[in-house]
């Protein structure tokens, strides 16, 4: 298996078709753990980060088109997909470190990050920890903007969640879940918009090790009151970072009002709402999603990080917040601990 040359961060002279072999998952050992990923194409690097319980397979239908003009890297986060599931740190900060280490091992110095749901929080955390390696941010139905989250996820963070998830594997439960999902869709509920995808997430937890990794990941970002980490307190640091927010207006997992809240908190960001879409807008309307990503990455120059600018932003703090004053109530209520 060949590494990606560092020079591949430059734009390719023109599009090219993607071979079938490029779309198959690959593996690399990092820190003694097997990390699965998909790698295809050539040109500026584009990293696709999936959500909780999901895997790089969620991007599989989009990768061939994106890889015509980009080097596309779609990892399976630790504890997900075909990657190892150790008893380890599954926080967003640890995931950001893991993405950095995989990029480094593959010879990719900087990239545009596309993050969905939990992956959006990981992308934001990556930009916070490694701004010099972040060219752009594309956040899709991202977590970490407010406390609200679907009650099912809050319940799955409670003690006894292992038993609840194990019960989903009992004979007949898959059929009952399918009937429930169909009912939610027939009733035209927001959660029903993502019925097929949510059932796929259940299927991705076939054994105790998978369920344990899922719960450890979930509890790092959600508790019984809702989301327990926030990016609102440091969104101002994205000033000068091209940022695109994409959301479905019928998102039953992370409500669309979080999109408007993030847009307001991130200077210069762009917001695109997919009408009628749920938590997976890139599945609902892949053509529009692909067009937006291509247009955004080609029309915006990559961010240029400087230590002086970063220091000035930190010293000034969030707009509207006097220096040396504690965060306002909205930020404190959004989260009691930040992903540092």
Task: Answer yes or no: 117 catalytic.
Answer: yes
109 SS3 class: coil
d(CA 174, CA 202): 9
d(CA 160, CA 189): 28
- Catalytic pick among 70, 251, 258, 338: 251
Cα 209 → chain centroid: 22
Eight-state DSSP code of residue 249: T
Task: Answer yes or no: 279 catalytic.
Answer: yes
Sign of CA dihedral 327, 126, 79, 53: positive
d(CA 327, CA 316): 13
- Catalytic pick among 110, 117, 220, 335: 117
9 SS3 class: helix
Q: 51: Cβ–Cβ under 8 A, 6 or more apart, which residues?
A: 58, 116, 117, 118, 119, 120, 141, 143
- Catalytic pick among 50, 263, 279, 283: 279
d(CA 72, CA 111): 9
**Active site (catalytic) residues:** 117, 251, 279
């Amino acid at each position: 298996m060949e590494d990606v040359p560092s020079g591949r961060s430059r734009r390719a002279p023109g599009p090219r078709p993607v071979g079938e072999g490029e779309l198959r998952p690959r593996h690399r050992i990092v820190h003694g753990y097997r990390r699965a990923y998909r790698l295809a194409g050539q040109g500026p690097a584009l990293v696709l980060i999936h959500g909780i319980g999901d895997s790089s397979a969620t991007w599989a239908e989009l990768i061939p088109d994106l890889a015509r003009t980009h080097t596309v890297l779609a990892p399976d986060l630790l504890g997900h997909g075909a990657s190892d599931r150790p008893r380890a740190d599954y926080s967003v900060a640890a995931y950001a470190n893991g993405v950095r280490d995989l990029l480094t091992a593959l010879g990719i110095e900087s990239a545009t990050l596309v993050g969905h749901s939990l992956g959006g929080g990981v992308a934001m955390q990556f930009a916070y920890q490694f701004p010099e390696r972040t060219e752009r941010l594309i956040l899709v139905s991202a977590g970490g903007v407010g406390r609200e989250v679907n009650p099912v996820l809050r319940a799955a963070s409670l003690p006894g969640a292992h038993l609840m998830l194990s019960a989903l594997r009992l004979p007949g439960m898959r059929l009952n879940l399918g009937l429930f999902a169909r009912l939610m869709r027939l009733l035209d509920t927001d959660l029903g918009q993502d019925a097929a995808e949510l059932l796929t997430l259940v299927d991705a937890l076939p054994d105790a090790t998978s369920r344990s990794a899922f719960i450890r990941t979930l509890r790092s970002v959600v508790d019984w009151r809702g989301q327990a980490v926030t990016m609102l307190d440091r969104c101002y640091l994205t000033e000068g970072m091209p940022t695109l927010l994409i959301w479905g207006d019928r998102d039953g997992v992370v409500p669309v009002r979080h999109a408007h809240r993030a847009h307001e908190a991130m200077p210069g960001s762009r917001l695109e709402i997919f009408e009628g879409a749920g938590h997976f807008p890139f599945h609902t309307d892949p053509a529009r999603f692909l067009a937006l990503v291509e247009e955004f990455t080609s029309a915006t120059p990559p961010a240029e990080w400087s230590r002086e600018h970063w220091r000035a932003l930190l010293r000034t703090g969030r707009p509207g917040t006097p220096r040396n004053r504690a965060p306002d109530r909205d930020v404190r209520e959004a989260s009691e601990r930040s992903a540092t």
